[in-house]
Structures are given as structure tokens and as C-alpha cells.
Amino acid sequence: MNETEVSSRPRDRIDTSARFTEGDAIRLNRMFRGQETLEMLSSVLKDHLAGDIAVVSSFGAESAVLLHLVAQVDKSVPVLFLETDKHFPETIAYRDELVEFLGLTNLRILTPDAEEIVAKDEAGLRWSWDPDGCCEIRKVKPLAKALAGFDASITGRKAFQASTRAQLPRFEIDSSDAQGRLKINPLIDWSAEDLEAYFEEHGLPRHPLVAQGYPSIGCSPCTHKVAPGEDPRSGRWKGWDKTECGIHSPNNPDAYRLPPEGFDPAL
């Protein structure tokens, strides 16, 4: 960002030229406390409160809700999709359907480094004996490379999905980025019922695998059906002590707890 852009920015806006600190995340959480999701997204995107932003989407079971919200504000926001070469064909078809349905104009398909795949997973079976390593080369590294050009990313994580997400805030610092990239979780406080109501209200297309018993959908070798009443993500990496692919490294939620009413962040 050049000096002219920085100097023309209103003085009370967070300066994103040096990216963000934990204090910035706390102030943003406080600024938007209690605000409706669409209103918050509109402010963040239209007023450039978080600099250059990309949406990270798996085009999974619930992705349509976040993408619909973003599309209402700006259909040109970059949407990053990790093409791992291990997706269900239904996911690829759903991705294309949803992009057209919502009128998204900036889908960016991220692929793993071809040489690294040959060196570390030429047979394509690393998922069967080292799922962390498979996620690392097919998801974590390609996304890190793509996000290096952005100040913030928007995710579709929800608190009810897993215990590792239960205390996440709306705004946090991305622990995978040493320069202080912001991570925004607009749907973190949405319930499964909220999502279902939103799908119905806006007539959003559904991922075809949801009706077949897949409430959480990732790469096909590591995604299994889930029985009624089970944790929605229990079908991911079934049989492994693994709940995340690695692109969302756990942060300390206590670092972003909102200050009490009346707290002045300038003091």
C-alpha cells in the first residue's frame, strides 16, 4: 500500500499497512459486538477496515450461506478454493453451480506445487498413512502462498461444528502468519438452525452429498457419512486423532475476549 493511500485514510480507521495486532482484533470484536452479520460484513468490505480481503471457501455443506452474504456486498471479492485433486466430483460441480447462482466474479482455484506432489505423494496415497502431511502439501502450503498477498481472510467456521471452534471470536489474528494477517469468522455464532433457516429463506442450492449423510464435506478419502446425532465433523478423518486440516491453526481464544462495557482501548 503506497504512502498516498495511507495518508488519505481517515485517522480513526485501523492502519492495515503493517497488518494487525491482537489489540486490533479485540477492538474490532468490540466495534461489531451485537451487530448483524450482513451489516458487519458490509462495513468491513465497503469501508476497507481490514485491507485486502479474500474469502476461503471449501464449497462444502454450508458454504452457500457465507458466500451469499458476501455476494450481497461485493460479488468481486476474491474467493479462494483449494483444488486438492481429492475432492468429490459433486463438490466441484456444486462449486461451479454456486458461483453461477451467486454471480461471483473472482473465483481463484489454488493447486498444490506439482514438483512437491511428485516428491512427496506421487502415488496419491499419502492421505492413507499421513493425513497431516497430505493436508500440508495439498492445502496448507498452497493457501499460505495465496494469502501472502492479502491483509485478511474470511472463513466459514461456526462454533457448533467442533470443540476446537467453540470459543472462537469474530476477529482474530491468523496464527500462521507472522505479519499479523486478520482472520474473520462472520458465522461463528450461527447455529445449525440459523443456517437451515437462511438456506430456506434465500432458496440456496444444497451440496448434493448433504442429503446422503455428509454434514461436513472435505476431500473424498477422508470424509465419511455421519450418523444422526453425531458431531457434524465426526466423519472427517475418521479413525485419526485429527479434527482440522491445518489451514485453521488453533489460536488462544482468551486473547480476544471482549473487554467489559465502558473499557477505553486508548487507555
Catalytic residue among 134, 135, 222, 245: 245
For residues 222 and 127, the answer to whether their CB atoms sit within 8 Å is yes
Backbone angles phi, psi at 127, to 5 degrees: -55, -30
228 phi and psi angles, rounded to 5 deg: -55, 135
Q: What are phi and psi of 4, to 5 degrees?
A: -65, -45
CB-count exposure of residue 66 (10 Å: 0-12, 13-18, 19+): buried
Termini Cα distance of the chain: 29
Alpha-carbon distance of 149 to 100, in angstroms, equals 26
Q: Which residue do the cell numbers 506421487 mark?
A: 122
- Please give the Cα distance from 6 to 103 (Å, whole number): 32
The full 3-state SS of 157-174, as one line of letters, equals: CCHHHCHHHCCCCCEEEC
222 is an active site residue? no
Residues in CB range of 82: below 8 A, 6 or more apart = 58, 110, 138, 139, 142, 143, 247
Return the active site residues: 245
